[in-house]
Amino acid sequence: MIFVDYAASIFPIIAHAPWNGIHLADFVMPFFLFIAGISLALVYKRRPHRTQATWKAFARALNLFALGILLQGGYFHGVTSLTFGVDIQRIRWLGILQRISIGYIVAALCEIWLPAPRWKELGFVKSYYWQWFVAVILLALYSGLLYGLYVPDWQFDVSASTSSLPPIGGGDIYMVNCSVRGDLGPACNSAGMIDRYILGLDHLYRKPVYRNLKGCNMSAKGQVSDSSPSWCHAPFDPEGILSSITAAVSCIIGLQYGHVLAHLQDHKGRLYNWMCFSLSFLALGLFLALIGIPLNKSLYTVSYMLLTSAASGLTFIALYFLVDVHGHRRLTALLEWMGKHSLSIFVIVSSNLAVIAVQGFYWTKPENNIINWIVTRFDHT
């Protein structure tokens, strides 16, 4: 994620896809959710006291959620400013850590409260059928809301805009014409409507990735042209409420891989079950994409969730085969260290402390620092 955040402007292919499609950056969040699910299976391998375990799970989730608000709610003002603070009326409520906390608590409650498995008798799918049932219900709820909700025309004030240019027509209000149902475009999808109604437009992400679409004509300085469609100026949260439902399913899927790891001891059995899961998700995800359900990270569509879950599983299999089966641990020593300190690294980078610290060392003038040199040398936008 660090590489994606700071190298995307230099290597556009790794940046998030503007809307439909999938790039390298779009695999990062599902990997986090997947590994969080695996860890839950190990934490709750022995059934704890349910009430006590539930309170601890909620405490962890709330701590993670609060940390996410601090880091991505607007409190820090970027690497070019040492100021901090955020207007509560404009704070961003949802973000990366908040999404992980939601997926974590959903999967944790499934593991704590749903009936204990009899995996030796029935196999992993049948043993944990209640968890699979919850996943199916969540996907059905998501699909029903995404395709079934009617999205009326909507408007927003220029104060909530992502552009510093005057609004279209010289007025104070942008108007977005929708009056549709089941639209999956950036302007009229029901995910954005739900966030606008529940969270409020002022609390959404102000630099949505769909501004990079050709139709928005965004400048190199990040400003949207006044000739662009009105929705190009509107905030949109890629970690919104509706898409968090399918994100939670990613965590539940990771939980199933964790069950295999926790209950099977032989490498062959583990690899076989993981491969069956991964290939099944891959085939189903590709099938849904072919019949018209787009791969979309911002909406966290079902096809995207399945495909990235398959990619997470296959990556996990490859690392397990390399490290645990063949013992090549030195090759992944750096990844292991980063995994042990992942939250600390995320905090340091998200708060811009790491970049600011590096920028503090310069030659003659403050702008002669290594960060500015890298950006000016490789960023030709």
Q: What is the pLDDT of residues 138-170, one digit of tens each?
A: 999 999 999 999 999 998 876 555 544 444 444
pLDDT score, position 214: 83
In tens, the pLDDT along 103-137 reads 999 999 999 998 766 655 556 677 788 999 999 99
Q: Which residues of the chain have pLDDT under 50?
A: 163-170, 380-381
Shared domain check, 157 and 33: yes
Structure token pair of residue 245 = 């439902």
Q: Residue 142 domain-assigned?
A: yes
Q: Are 92 and 237 in contact (CB under 8 A)?
A: yes
In three-state secondary structure terms, 246 is helix
Domain holding 219, by residue range, is: 19-337
Q: Are 378 and 370 in contact (CB under 8 A)?
A: no
For residue 341, count other CB atoms closer than 10 A to its CB: 12
Structure token pair of residue 206 = 């102000």
Contacts of 94 (CB under 8 A, 6+ apart): 68, 195, 199, 237, 239, 240, 241, 244
For residue 138, count other CB atoms closer than 10 A to its CB: 18
Q: Residue 4 domain-assigned?
A: no
Say how far apart CA 86 and CA 77 lie, in whole Å.
9
Shared domain check, 363 and 295: no
Residues recorded for the chain: 381
pLDDT score, position 77: 56
Shared domain check, 97 and 229: yes
Q: Residue 343 domain-assigned?
A: no
Q: Residue 112 domain-assigned?
A: yes
pLDDT score, position 164: 43
pLDDT score, position 356: 72
Strands 150-151 and 173-176: unpaired
Shared domain check, 381 and 260: no
Shared domain check, 268 and 296: yes
Shared domain check, 243 and 196: yes
Q: Residue 345 domain-assigned?
A: no
Say how far apart CA 199 and CA 241 lie, in whole Å.
9
Shared domain check, 154 and 52: yes
Say how far apart CA 181 and CA 195 lie, in whole Å.
16
Shared domain check, 296 and 260: yes
Shared domain check, 179 and 65: yes
Residue 224: φ, ψ to 5°: -90, 135
Q: Residue 9 domain-assigned?
A: no
Say how far apart CA 150 and CA 134 lie, in whole Å.
26
Q: Residue 54 domain-assigned?
A: yes
Shared domain check, 307 and 284: yes
End-to-end CA distance of the chain: 21
Number of domains within the chain: 2
Structure token pair of residue 113 = 């409260």
Q: Residue 193 domain-assigned?
A: yes
Shared domain check, 380 and 236: no
Q: Is the pTM of this model over 0.85?
A: yes
Shared domain check, 364 and 332: no
Say how far apart CA 192 and CA 205 lie, in whole Å.
11
